[in-house]
Amino acid sequence: MTTKKILLVDDTNLFLEMEKDFLERSGCQVLTATTGTEGLEKIRSEVPDLVLLDLEMPDMNGDEVCELVKKDERFKKIPIVMLSSRTDQEAIEKCRKAGCDNYLTKPINQRKLLDETAKILKIPQRKDLRVLVQMEVEGVLGENAFYGESENISRGGLLIKSETLLKKGSVINIKFHLPGKQYHIEAEGEVVRIDEESFEPKYGLGIAFQDLNSIAKEMIEDFIKKGR
């Protein structure tokens, strides 16, 4: 299957980084642009399968970019989903008139974004949805303690970044506190993935849960459903 290409256009770098990471984990190639002009140039040069386009940007607003693309015979069939914190009918109608295919409001619910992406691109959704979350993670391997910070979580595990490099296959005990939840979660996990490049000077560690109790499973499930 050919990898689908998504162009994400937004002038907020933090949003770009968060959503780029999330969408890449769904199996798509993600390109980014921080201005409307740059976004328009990349649409013309890269011809993405889908464009996620912020409405309000400094140089050229998203509805202007959308209108130019939809009037161009070469690119008018590229689906464009507008993203904005505005919920008023005027903003929505402006984007509709520009020819957008859908309109999603910020903050973006990642489940909704994944559903929309999968529907437009006709790609199967990964069963194990990951959501971004930043929290401290404490770990113990044998008699040695280590610390890290999470990047995302799924029903099956965590991705953390840590100054401690562990061996793949290591079985560790971890402890963390999900934002908005009352209790800490303690679990045994196995290091199933090591990334020595993405988080330099720290290491990326993919940890698969091994013995979550029913309460911990419910807490994680609820957290993921809310797409926090």
Q: Is the pLDDT of residue 219 over 60?
A: yes
Digit-coded pLDDT (tens) for 113-162: 878 888 898 876 555 677 888 999 999 998 899 999 998 898 889 999 99
21 and 13 Cβ atoms separated by less than 8 Å: no
133 and 40 Cβ atoms separated by less than 8 Å: no
Task: Give the CA count within 13 Å in the CB-facing half-sphere of 94.
Answer: 16
Q: Which pLDDT score, from 0 to 100, does residue 125 have?
A: 57
Digit-coded pLDDT (tens) for 155-186: 889 999 999 999 989 999 999 999 988 789 99
Q: Is the pLDDT of residue 84 over 90?
A: yes
Q: Which residues contact 186 (CB under 8 A, 6 or more apart)?
A: 173, 174, 175, 216
Entry pTM: 0.60
Q: What is the DSSP string of the chain?
A: -PPPEEEEE-S-HHHHHHHHHHHHTTT-EEEEESSHHHHHHHHHHH--SEEEEES--SSS-HHHHHHHHHT-TTTTTS-EEEEES--SHHHHHHHHHHT-SEEEESSPPHHHHHHHHHHHHT-PPPSS--EE---EEEEEETTEEEEEEEEEE-SSEEEEEESS---TT-EEEEEE--TT-SS-EEEEEEEEEEESSTTTTSEEEEEEES---HHHHHHHHHHHHTT-
Digit-coded pLDDT (tens) for 20-76: 776 776 678 899 999 999 999 999 999 999 999 999 998 999 999 999 999 999 999
6 and 49 Cβ atoms separated by less than 8 Å: yes
Q: Which pLDDT score, from 0 to 100, does residue 128 have?
A: 62
Q: Which pLDDT score, from 0 to 100, does residue 224 have?
A: 85
Q: Which pLDDT score, from 0 to 100, does residue 2 have?
A: 72
Q: What is the DSSP string of 106-144?
A: SSPPHHHHHHHHHHHHT-PPPSS--EE---EEEEEETTE
Task: Identify the band that residue 195 occupies on the pLDDT scale cut at 50, 70 and 90.
Answer: confident
Q: Which domains does the chain have, with CATH numbers?
A: 5-121 (3.40.50.2300), 131-225 (2.40.10.220)
